[in-house]
């Protein structure tokens, strides 16, 4: 079994900790870029990627039987070609649950406790003990995308005595949520009731532009919008206008329509915006966690078992 990994991610742990029975049945080649990988790709049974692959490499991979991406999002991969060639794709769904749920809570606390202002005053040697800070207690959190990460966010939010509303496709009750809604009517209710709104949607044909100018107008003027999904799930221009005009109190954004975020973007200059460089899913334990998924799928692939995190190539998640 020939495995070719093409990613700048450090896969030393994945190679070194691979169970012995798998090592004995596989040849593992890791390249930090596509340079030098061509010869091995032509013989690859399995390709590991971090969410993108050079189209020219796909043409060379004539023996490819399965692709594993180390990311949860698959919107940058050639889903149609994989479907046409009947090549299964598995992703890293579930590997972000801990770090992204903690990141979400940290952003909400950063906002209500005015951490940015306090840091600024510290730099300017300003002593002001009359600053009024807020609380998470009793506030309503709306989670758009009530999957595994959303459930972890909800569970942690309940420790702060928050009310949690979740949006999913079915509207079926989910653990840790006070209520779960679906459809446009449910979305509108969630937006109008929430003090904090977290976007955790995958980027698919159905979710691009999911949050429109009209949706933004439904949010409380005091609300904080947090986007940890993908930049294209929201109308970024409309969001900027809402923030500039004070129709929305603030936003915490980890993802953007264009990344890196261009220096000319007004978002850099807005005091009511927290910006982070697409790092919500980062963790020192990331490779270890994604390796567990890969080992399971590799053993299932070799022995005819059931793989996990198999992507629906038509739906895109």
Instruction: Exactly one of 155, 278, 289, 299 is catalytic; name it.
Output: 278
> Under a CB-based contact definition with an 8 Å cutoff, are residues 256 and 233 in contact?
no
Q: What are the domain boundaries of the chain?
A: 2-94+284-303, 97-275
Instruction: Exactly one of 40, 151, 230, 236 is catalytic; name it.
Output: 230
Mean pLDDT of 226-247: 97
SS (HEC) of 81-96: HHHHCCCCEECCCCCC
Question: Which CATH fold would you assign to the domain 97-275?
Answer: Rossmann fold (3.40.50)
Catalytic residue status for 208: no
CATH superfamily, region 2-94+284-303: NAD(P)-binding Rossmann-like Domain (3.40.50.720)
N-to-C CA span, the chain: 27
Q: According to the model, what pLDDT value does residue 203 have?
A: 83
- Does the fold of domain 97-275 match that of domain 2-94+284-303? yes
pLDDT at residue 35 is higher than 90: no
pTM for this structure? 0.92
Catalytic residue status for 230: yes
> Under a CB-based contact definition with an 8 Å cutoff, are residues 8 and 35 in contact?
no
Report pLDDT digits (tens) over 72-121.
Answer: 999 999 999 999 999 999 999 999 999 999 999 999 999 999 999 999 99
Q: According to the model, what pLDDT value does residue 202 have?
A: 86
Report pLDDT digits (tens) over 2-18.
Answer: 999 999 999 999 999 99
Burial (CB count within 10 angstroms: exposed 0-12, middle 13-18, buried 19+), residue 42: middle
């Amino acid at each position: 079994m020939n495995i070719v990994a093409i990613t700048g991610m450090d896969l030393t742990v994945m190679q070194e900790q691979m169970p012995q029975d798998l090592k004995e049945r596989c040849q593992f080649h890791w390249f930090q870029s596509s340079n030098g990988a061509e010869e091995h790709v032509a013989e690859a049974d399995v390709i590991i990627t971090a969410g993108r692959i050079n189209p020219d490499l796909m043409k060379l991979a004539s023996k490819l039987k399965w692709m594993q991406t180390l990311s949860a999002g698959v919107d940058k991969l050639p889903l149609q070609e994989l479907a046409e060639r009947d090549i299964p794709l598995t992703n890293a769904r579930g590997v972000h649950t801990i770090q992204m749920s903690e990141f979400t809570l940290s952003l909400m606390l950063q906002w209500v406790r005015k951490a940015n202002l306090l840091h600024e005053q510290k730099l300017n040697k300003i002593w002001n003990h009359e600053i009024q800070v807020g609380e998470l207690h009793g506030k309503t959190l709306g989670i758009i995308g009530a999957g595994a990460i959303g459930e972890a966010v909800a569970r942690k939010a309940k420790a702060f005595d928050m009310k949690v509303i979740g949006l999913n496709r079915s509207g079926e009750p989910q653990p840790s949520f006070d209520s779960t809604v679906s459809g446009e009517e449910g979305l509108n209710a969630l937006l109008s009731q929430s003090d904090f709104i977290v976007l955790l949607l995958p980027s698919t044909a159905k979710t691009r532009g999911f949050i429109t100018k009209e949706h933004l107008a439904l949010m409380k003027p005091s609300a904080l919008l947090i986007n940890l999904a993908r930049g294209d799930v929201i109308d970024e221009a409309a969001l900027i206008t809402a923030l500039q005009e004070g129709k929305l109190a603030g936003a915490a954004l980890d993802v953007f329509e264009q990344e890196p975020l261009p220096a000319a973007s007004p978002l850099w200059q807005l005091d009511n915006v927290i910006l982070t460089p697409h790092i919500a899913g980062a963790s020192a334990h990331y490779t270890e966690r994604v390796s567990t998924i890969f080992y399971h799928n590799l053993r299932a692939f070799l022995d005819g078992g059931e793989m996990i995190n198999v992507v629906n190539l038509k739906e895109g998640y």
